[in-house]
Structure 1
Amino acid sequence: MSPRTLSFVLRSRASIFKPRQPQLLHRVSCPNPGQTRSYAPNHSSSSSFPPPSQNDLLNTKLRTLINAIPPSQKIRYVKDSSPSSTTHPTASPSLLSALLNPSPPPYTIGTDICHIPRILLLLQRQLAELGYVEGEMPRFWTRVLTPLEARYSGWNSGGGVEGRARFIAGRWAVKEAVIKAVAAAYPGGGKVFMHDIVILNAKVQSALLEAHKAAARIEAREGGGAAREEMLGGEGEGEVKGGAPRAFVKVPGGEGWVEVSVSISHDGEYATATALVPVDQKIAAGLRREKSLVRGVVAKTYTDARYL
């Protein structure tokens, strides 16, 4: 052994045989389901640390409840690995064919519902105005009904305000239904208003037909037999069939009046109505013009060429 090595060993002998000093125990956090305690070397209790928060207690109770549920009753998500499942559903070729080749329906449907107490409150408010004259029709009445309808509506025939509100609520609902159906049957046309629609019940129809026959008889005496036959029409024409009301709407664009099928129902505090309007055949041309636009939208969504 060289003198240099021996000197190094002698100098380090004290550190080699010196007993190891105990390490200080630092603060350790030991969480458990109930709370979190901290231990220090010179403390025998944890009273100096704050209690667990309310959120910690709620989380603990929630974990306890979840762990108490049997595994057989737990709902688990299982991904469908069948080959038929797809991430992007596609439409069938027949559906796309119907979309790309639209055909106009023969009729359009409109429906509406009216709350009768709301109409009653409106009528009572207008009847209580200072400028109202007893026996006259209120503004809302003449707003909904045409002069022809208002003449035969029976405002002064009795029934009270409740009966009048029930009647005008049905007329409001049926005219709103007709407006919706006409807007779908004549797209791009002018707007239809309340006075463009006439609802005639059986009593009004009979009165109008009797007036028409009286005018025809007068015209026949002045113009001869040819005029009489032209005014009265064929045999059986002009008879009122059934008691259902008939509706007529003035078609946008000045194309005359068209009869539409309507149905009015009252149930409790509500009046409902449905209208069936025949579709104008000129709509088909407009739908064909829109075909190219629809094709472009479909082409961006479905890239398969067989659908186009």
Structure 2
Amino acid sequence: MRPLPFPYSLNIGTDIVHLPRILRLITTSNRENSSRLDRFTRRILSEQEQRDFCSRFRLSTSPGNGPRFDRVTPTPDMARWLAGRFAAKEAARKASNRGAGAIGWKDVLVSVEDTGTVGSGRPQVIYLDSKGERDARIGKLSISHDGEYVVATVLAAG
């Protein structure tokens, strides 16, 4: 008997992140003495996610230029949150129907479903188009933290 193909076009992506690696990445200064936290967040997070980061950790933002993190002392909680975003985005890139190489870090937005009730939404990824606008593609996301590891899995339509 020949196996039947899966009846749905679905893709799955998983990523695991070692927390000490992210903490080391965001706490070390480079030769130019600029903040690695600022560099990491600008490279990985969309503008909305940067605002979410500021709101979550009660950081002030500079008007006009968006959030700056060059004078912020990173904490383990910040590293855990960023590791979750990093793992979720990498899993979403792997689950993309175009493949991980065709999706950039800022082409995926990690958010919480809007259910109308505060604190009741589930995490999700939203695939953005080339102009940064939301399109109809949403992936289901699961993020887990345990000790020094963060793992994320995304299920997306293919």
Which TM class, normalised by the smaller chain length? 0.7 to 0.9
Give yes or no for contact 2:57–2:78 (8 Å, CA) kept in 1. Answer: no
Q: Partner of 1:173 in structure 2?
A: 87
Q: Which residue does the alignment assign to 1:130?
A: 33
* Higher RCO (CA < 8 A, seq sep 6+): 2
Show the 5 A alignment for 1:1-308.
94-95=1-2, 98=4, 102=5, 105-126=8-29, 130-132=33-35, 138-154=38-54, 156-157=57-58, 160-182=74-96, 185-186=97-98, 191-201=102-112, 239-240=116-117, 242-250=120-128, 256-279=135-158
State how far apart, in whole Å, the 2-side matches of 1:114 and 1:190 are: 19
Deviations 1:107-127 (A, max 9, x none): 211111000000000111138
Matched residue type, 2:127:
V
Q: Which secondary structure does the structure 2 equivalent of 1:122 belong to?
A: helix
Larger Rg: 1
Change (3 A) 1:181 1:251: farther
Q: Quick one: structure 1 residues 240 and 277, their matched pair in 2 at CA, closer, same or farther if it must change by over 3 Å?
A: farther
Measure, in 2, the Cα distance between the counterparts of 1:127 and 1:162: 20
TM-score (norm. length: structure 2)? 0.73
Cα 1:168–1:249 change in 2 (3 A) is same
Q: Would you tell me which structure has more strand in proportion to its own residues?
A: 2
Point out the structure with the larger helix share: 1
Shift of 1:153: 1.2
Instruction: Give percent identity, aligned residues only.
Output: 33
Q: Provide the C-alpha distance between the structure 2 equivalents of 1:128 and 1:270, rounded to a whole number of angstroms.
A: 29
Is the CA contact (8 Å cut-off) linking 2:27 and 2:37 kept in structure 1? no
Equivalents in 1 of 2:26, 2:44: separation in Å? 12
Q: Partner of 1:140: helix, strand, or coil?
A: helix
Q: Deviations over 1:42-82 (max 9, x none)?
A: xxxxxxxxxxxxxxxxxxxxxxxxxxxxxxxxxxxxxxxxx
Aligned to 2:62: none
CA contact (8 A) 1:251 1:257 kept: no
Q: 1:125 to 1:150 in 2, by over 3 A?
A: same
Instruction: Please give the root-mean-square deviation of Cα atoms over the aligned residues, in Å.
Output: 3.3
Which AA in structure 2 matches 1:138? D
Per the alignment, do residues 126 and 156 of structure 1 end up closer, same or farther by CA in structure 2, a change over 3 Å counting?
farther
Return closer, same or farther for 1:127/1:171 CA change in 2, 3 Å cut-off.
farther
8 Å Cα contact 1:145-1:195 kept in structure 2: yes
Which amino acid is the alignment partner of residue 23 of structure 2?
A: L
Determine helix, strand or coil for the equivalent of 1:152. Answer: helix
Q: Given that residues 124 and 139 in structure 2 are in contact (C-alpha distance below 8 angstroms), is that contact kept between their aligned partners in structure 1?
A: yes
CA deviation digits over 1:175-232, x for unaligned, max 9? Answer: 11111111xx346x98011100001247xx6xxxxxxxxxxxxxxxxxxxxxxxxxxx
Q: What stretches of structure 1 of length at least 5 have no aligned partner?
A: 1-93, 206-237, 280-308
1:243 maps to a residue whose letter is G
